[in-house]
Amino acid sequence: MSAAGPRRVLVLNGPNLGRLGSREPDVYGSTSYAGLVERCTELGRELGLEVEVRETNDEGEMIRWLHEAADASLPVVLNPAAFTHYSYGMRDAAAQRTAPLIEVHISNPHAREEFRHTSVVAAVASGTIAGFGIGSYELALRALAGDRPQD
């Protein structure tokens, strides 16, 4: 943590993620969206990060949030959800990043339906973490904080 305070990080979630806990728990687990917010903000505090978690079903709102992050040089943990596979507008907004952007997925998209195998975001992200449940977010926050194993 710097003298100016914790580093601010946006955790941005796309469509249907507000329904975590009730939406296909066999795929997305039993943690609720409120549980996700709590885990991300608590881990952020431990890592010296000020984590703000948001969720939207609106593509335009997601694009505006990515512009906000780019303008303020804020790191982003992004779960684009269904936008992953087709939102070129969101991809173009993510490409404008001025700080690290880590794409996350709760499930492993490559182990699911074929249409989920392509991410339009991956090529402009700093990295992608998928398939670790809610732990995908935790791994991304640790990476942003520089808290990762040494080679």
Catalytic residues: 28, 105
Q: What angle do CA 133, 147, 18 make, to 5 degrees?
A: 30
Contact in structure between 80 and 101 (CB atoms under 8 Å): no
Backbone angles phi, psi at 109, to 5 degrees: -60, -30
**Is residue 85 a known part of a binding site?**
yes
**Is residue 116 a known part of a binding site?**
yes
**Is residue 110 a known part of a binding site?**
no
**Is residue 91 a known part of a binding site?**
no
CA distance 48 to 61: 27
**Is residue 79 a known part of a binding site?**
yes
Contact in structure between 144 and 43 (CB atoms under 8 Å): no
- Distance between alpha carbon 59 and the CA centroid of its chain, in Å? 15
CA distance 30 to 49: 26
Provide the token pair at 145: 């904080």
**Binding site as annotated, residues for substrate:** 79, 85, 92, 106-107, 116
Binding positions are: 79, 85, 92, 106-107, 116
